[in-house]
Every structure is written in structure tokens, then in C-alpha cells.
Chains A and B, each alone.
Chain A
């Protein structure tokens, strides 16, 4: 075992040395052998995946048929099914019940007024009996009204109300099926990976063609993006149920269906609700992109203010998204933590009933009052606040007074940190890079992982996108390094100190749900377009998981180990550096893994500030409506993240085994 370790180290060091030699002398080597292909994969050998994909999708949409109906009829039918409940909710929250179409429409009944919506949220929150939560919910709803975000946020809320249940239900169903059949689970896992890692921009155009232009396509894109965690948590939850419970269910004569729905699902509920929570957060992450294909709502407002350079307007709408996300998230979490109501249904049911009746009466009376006083219908304009000019002045002030300092800071970071990394990635010959990745795969996961690494990276090379992939790695790598340098200490602090934890959680939640489009403009104003700006945007977005996982890892260390360390006379410093951090290392690694995933998903958006990576390729695919180009570049992004994910997870497991934690 010891010997093995030492020889491993020797191999590792010599490989690292070789890599650096290749990097330093890459150009010399290529000119010596007179073979440019070592650094640059020859273009004429690239396989035109993009063209094939485009023609396949075109065939699917224009010609594919099942005999009685075409593929397009089928997708349009799905779209129609989803559209019905969406229109209903939209009528209730935003449009009112209309008769007729277009401007001929007559409003038969108005939408719920802001006062009624407050009532509904208040009732929901009151079930949790958490005063802080009730206050938070009220505050959020009133924010939406005061800052004139009401109309848009109700449109956004309607799509969330539709997307989340569909995502959750489909997720649970798929989860159950894959729990029952191992084969299906094996088939579904790579698809889930792709759903989560292929940038949404890449499949926007095909979705539009299949499902028609409008909110339904936006809903479907949202569901595709937000559903995978639900499937995963369902499988995880069902697998981790105590087998005794299942056996006692079988013994008491449950049918298979009863066993699933009366025994297994209820006892998996707490874990399932974490999945629900993820679906909500991810759906709200999609708000901006959804608005590009006709969803309207808050996302559209953010985009429109970006276009007008209205920084304040963007921030107000962006914060409205954050507020909605945090409200829904906290509400769903609170419901997850409620004691299960299975036993005392009788009494609880009555209480529930009372509240709902009261809510109903309340809504009706508000509606009637709305006929007499417009206050009950619309939030009065005089009470609305507009902070646009404040934000504008703030950015202007920083811009005029501190631009030069920021510029110097930027140049230092660029020359001493980012550019060396860029040169490194672009300097390594691709055959060597693939070799190293395959080797790393072998080290952590033997044949299976090394094969995966090999095949995926060969795909990237043969699609002719290697250069762009390397720029992606460089941007993503530099951002992840800085995000970890900032995030891990913050996470440790949050793990040790409860108060810090609360503040930091709120802070990261905001960062993660605040659409990056909101801060793109101020960041460009202060740092100009380019890689540095992109990096800042990526760091802001990807910081969250490294904080969260680190805090989680530090907090969940076995208490007995901590006590043992204290008894044996550890100083607090020793306790932290010798016990807690090493034990939390597997979790920290998973956090970095998530940071990488988020960084990669963000790169598509940073294409908007002029990066030249795979994200840009995806974006070009979108703007030129080139289906194949976007999808292939999207797949490359997905493959990079899959490779990183598998390797880091394997590494984390290895560490866990080493420290004996499971």
C-alpha cells in the first residue's frame, strides 16, 4: 500500500513535468516534427456533426410521421395540453377571464387583486406558524406591488405555478420507474446529465419549432432544465428507505401500488421536498431565457431594461425575481419541515378547512370592494417607488471616481493570473491532453471512467471545437479558482458560526437567483467587455455552492470526533485545520464540483460580453438559428462538465473511503 502510494506520486510528478515541457516547448516540438496538427486539430478532419444534426432536426420537424399524425402534430398536442392550465392560471393572476381574442376581448372578470394575492400567501405561510416566514412573505409581496413589478411578476408566477408541478410530477414518475428498473436508471442517467449541462440556448430553436412560439415553449424549456434534480432525488430517496419498512409493508399485505404510494413515497417525503425546492429555484433561474421565447413577465422587463441601459430598472425587476424565488423556496422548505399530517387527519383537516373558507370569503369581499374603490383592484400609483436614478447615480459615481483603480486591479489580475492560465491551456498539444484526462480517469475509476473521458474528449476534438473548448476551460478554471478562494473560507466561517451562516445563506441565495443580466451592464461599465468581465460574472454566479457545501461539510462532522479531539487537547486552531477541514474535504470537493457546473452553465451568458469560447459558439448558433451548430457546441460544454463531474465525484468518494466517512 505504501509502495503503491510512492510510485503513484512519482508517476504524478513526472506527468506534471512532461505536461509543462509540452506546454513550454509545444511550438518547438511542432516545428521540429513539422506537424502543426499537434497543436491545432486539422479542420478538414473535423466531422461535420453540426450539419448532420441540423438536417436530422429538420427532418424530424418537417417530415417525420407516425402514419396517422406527424411528429409535429404530436408535439403540438403536448403544447396544447400544457397551454390549458397555464391559460387558466394566467387569467386568474394576471389577465382576468376574457371572452374573445386580441383587442376584441372583453374582460368578464378581473384578475385577483394584489390584496387577494397577499391573502393567499398569508394563509399559506400561516400553516407553518413561523412568524419570520409570514413576515418575509408579506414583505416580498408588498415589494412587488410597491416597486411596480406586479403585472410582470404575476405572469412569471403563473408560469412557475405550471412548470413546477409538471416538473415535480414527471420527475417523481421517472424516478419511481427507474427505481423499479435498474436498466431504465442506467439509460436515464446520461440523459439527465445532458438535460442539466447542455446550455438552454442550444436547444431553444428546436423547441420553438416543435412546440410553437410562446409561453408554452418557454414552459417546456423550463421543465427540461429544472426537472432532473427531481428525478435524482426521487431515486435517491427511494433507495435510501429502510428496507425493514418496505418489508413490513409487504408483510401487511400491500399491493405493489399501495406499497409505493402509501408506504414508500410518504416516508421519502422530506427528501422529495428537497427536490421540489430545487425545481422551484431552477425554474426561476430560467425566467430570463424563457422570456426570450415569449414568456414575458419579469424576465422580459430585465432584458428590456438591459437594452435601454436602465440599470435601476433591471435591478428592480431582478430583485423581484429574487424575492419570488426566496419566498417560494422558504415556503416550500417550511412545508417540508412541517410534521407529517397522516395520523391526526380529522382535526387538522377541519382547521385547514376553516382557513380556506375564510380565505375564500376574503377574496370575494375584496373583489366586490374592487368595484367601488380602485385601491382594492390596483396598487395605487402614488405609493409606488422608483429607485432607477439612485442606481444610475451610484454606478456613475463609482465609474467616475474609481475607474482607474479598478482598471489597475484588472490589469494586474489579467497579466499575472488569467493570461498564464490561458497560455497553458492553449499551449498543451491536444493528444497529450486527452492522454492525461484518460489517465486521470483510469486512476480514479479504472476502465469505465477512463473510457468515458477518452470518448467524450475525442468528440470535442473531432467536432473541431478544441480551441474554443480550451478557452472555455481557461475561463471556467480561473473563475472556479477565485470562487473557491473566496467561497471556501466563507463556507468555513458559516459552518462554525450560526449567525454568519444565516447572513451568508441569504446573500448567496440572492446572488444565485439574481439574473446575471442585471449586473452585466454595471460590470461592463466598470471593466469593459472581455474575459475579465466574464470572469466576474461567472464568479458571482458560481460562488454559492462552494460556500454552501463547505458550510454543510463543516457542520456535519461527527460530534464524537470533535469531542475526542477536544479531549486529547487540540487547540481551536488545530481542531479546525487538523480535524474539521480534512474531514470536510469530500464535501468541499463536491462544492467545487457544483461550482464548476454552474460556471460552465454561466459561460453561455458571458458570451454576451464578448468571450470567444464554446458559449459564444452556442450563442452564434442561437442568433443564426443554426440548430446543429448550437447543439454540437452545447454538447461539448456538457461533455466537459460530465468529465469534470465524474472525476471529482470519484475523487471525493476515494477521500471518503480514506477517512472512513460514508
Chain B
């Protein structure tokens, strides 16, 4: 029965491919270049988009590129699509390059980025008040290292990520010291190291990412973010300082070269229609990074199970 089903689905998809290629006479057979970065979630998003566009008959090329450096290529039209630009880390670049219209924002991917202070669950024994942020001061010492003692040590992201953690510590009057990692590789190397030793650690973690699924732990609950919190000192707990709240949770955007819309309007519409949600992505990432499947296999699986959804993107 299973085999028949499989055969049937293969036949169906073959039929669909032929059918699809007849229906969607694409605007240009030149390859559309999508960029690949070095984290799994982005590889999955991009590969799904690539497969969908291929189904629609477009010619696709995948190019490895640096997250920020790629903008130079998008601007000149050497590259066409970047599937993940995080509000939280890519805002400056998006603003800078979309200003003259040569790079365009194609809307959100449907996924939301979370970035916040995070601790492994074994630390809850030493600091039972967590995840409430008010517990942070009581157990600052439990998170201290010889260099920061008696203050707690919080490992923040690279300075380039922004995040206002120094200001946050100040505004919420936390007995913590912010240490900046230079890159997220270093960030998670420290987490891995501490996790192996069950040693105290508090650090910046973001999701969707494999870390929250590989290590068990929680985000700290800060007073929720509002725009006023960052701009208006009188808002919130501390009447004299801004940043007395958590970090904003922003969408993950798709950006593209302006050439895309002119040359392949159909592909542009398909990319605009693309959406995934964060949980779904978390599961896909875990299937790759934790269960050891290849990105291609996971993507193929997703494609087989979600025909209706991606079918509607390329209508």
C-alpha cells in the first residue's frame, strides 16, 4: 500500500512538474541567485524557496555569501535574493541599502526572531526565582566569574548586534557585568563549554536557532518591550532611564535586488508569498542539527508534505 502511495505521489509530482512548466512560462531563464549563509535555519529557508521556484520553472543558483557583505552584491544585481534578514541584526544594513531603491524589502518570512538573556535549566536550582528578571540581582553571585565577582557575568552578543545590554543593566540597576563576545561562534562555544561542566552561564541566545533545542533552558522574562521603553525615559520601572525592558522581538525579512521584480515578476511574487512560522522552523532546524539529517532531505520532506502551501505561492 505504502509503495503504491509513494509511486503515485512520484507520478503525481512528475505530472505536476510537466504541467507546471507548461503553465508557468517564466519570464527569463537566466538563473536567479539566492544567497546561502552559514546557519542551518537560513539554509533551510533558502533551499525551500529554491525548490519552490524550481517547481515554477525558474532557473536557480545558490551562492554562499556573507550575511552583511552580500548587500554589495544585491545592490549591484550580482545577487538577487537573501531569504533571511533579521530585524534584530540586519536593520542597519536594510536601511542603508534600501535607501536608494536598488535593494528592496520583500516583506517578512513569517518567522519572528527572539533575542534575550538565556540560561540553562540547571541554573534554576541555584536561582529559583528565574525566569523573572527581578531574581537576577539575588543570584548575581551564582553567575559570577573571578573576573566579574561579585557581579554576575552576562555574555552579550558582538557589539555590532547592538541590543543595549549595557544600558539595560544600568536602567534596571542589575549587579551584572556585560561582556561582549565577538561573534556568535564564540557565544555558543562558551555555552557548550559551560553546559558540559554544568557551570553557571547567562548569555544572549536567539531563536530560531539550534541552541534552544540542543540545550534545555529558558529566556529571562524582562518587562516586555514597547517603543516608548526605548525612547522615553519616564516609561517603565526606572523613571529616569530608557531601556528598562526586554529586547524587541522582530520579524525576519526577505530582501531582494530591485532587478528581481523587473526581470522575474513571477518569482518576486512567489518570494513575497513565502511564509513559515517560527515553531515550524525550529523543528526543521532540529531535524538537521540534532537528528543529523541533511538539509536537502529535510527540505524534500517538507516539500512533499506541504504541496498546497507552496503551490499557492506560485499560482
Contact = CB atoms under 8 A, between A and B. Distances in A.
B197 A619 contact: no
Nearest to A623: B160
Contacts of A294: 63-65, 73
A642 interface: no
A522 B188 CA distance: 11
A418 to B, nearest CB: 12
Residue picked from A103, A214, A520, most chain B C-beta under 10 Å: A103
B72 A214 contact: no
B197 A399 contact: yes
A436 B218 CA distance: 54
A524 B189 contact: yes
B306 interface: no
- The contact size tier of chain A is 35 or more
B72 A205 contact: yes
A209 B68 contact: no
Nearest to B97: A625
Contact of B182 (A102, A396, A607): A607
Interface in B286-315: 289
A608 B183 contact: yes
Contacts of A620: 159-160
B270 interface: no
Contacts of A104: 29, 59
A292 interface: yes
Interface string B1-42: 000000000000000000000000000011110000011100
A611 B145 CA distance: 18
B248 interface: no
A102 B38 CA distance: 21
Contact of A213 (B32, B54, B76, B145): B76
A399 B189 CA distance: 11
B204 to A, nearest CB: 12
Interface string A91-105: 000000000011110
A604 to B, nearest CB: 11
Contact of B71 (A296, A529, A611, A625): A625
B313 to A, nearest CB: 18
Interface string A108-128: 000000000000000000000
Contacts of B32: 102
A407 B153 CA distance: 15
Interface string B40-52: 1000000000000
Contacts of B39: 307
A610 B158 contact: yes
Contacts of B180: 529, 610, 612
Nearest to A307: B38
A308 B40 contact: yes
Interface in A170-193: none
A526 interface: yes
Given A102-B61, A616-B182, A620-B160, A528 B145 contact: yes
Contacts of B186: 520-521, 524, 529, 608-610
B182 A611 contact: yes
A208 B69 contact: yes
Contacts of A209: 72, 75-76
Contacts of A165: none
B60 A102 contact: yes
B273 interface: no
A608 B183 CA distance: 5
A68 to B, nearest CB: 20
Contacts of A385: none
Contacts of B181: 529, 609-610
Interface in A202-232: 204-205, 208-209, 212-214
Contacts of B59: 101-104
Contacts of B182: 529, 606-611, 616, 619
Pairs of residues from A and B, 6 with the lowest C-beta to C-beta distance, nearest first: A213-B73, A102-B31, A208-B72, A102-B59, A525-B193, A608-B182
Interface of A: 101-104, 204-205, 208-209, 212-214, 291-294, 296, 300, 303-304, 306-309, 396, 399-400, 403, 407, 411, 414, 517, 520-522, 524-526, 528-530, 606-612, 616, 619-620, 622-625
28 contacts: A102-B59, A103-B59, A209-B76, A213-B78, A294-B64, A300-B38, A306-B185, A307-B185, A399-B196, A403-B199, A411-B147, A521-B186, A524-B185, A524-B190, A525-B193, A528-B145, A528-B193, A529-B179, A608-B182, A609-B182, A609-B183, A610-B186, A612-B180, A620-B160, A622-B68, A623-B68, A624-B160, A625-B96
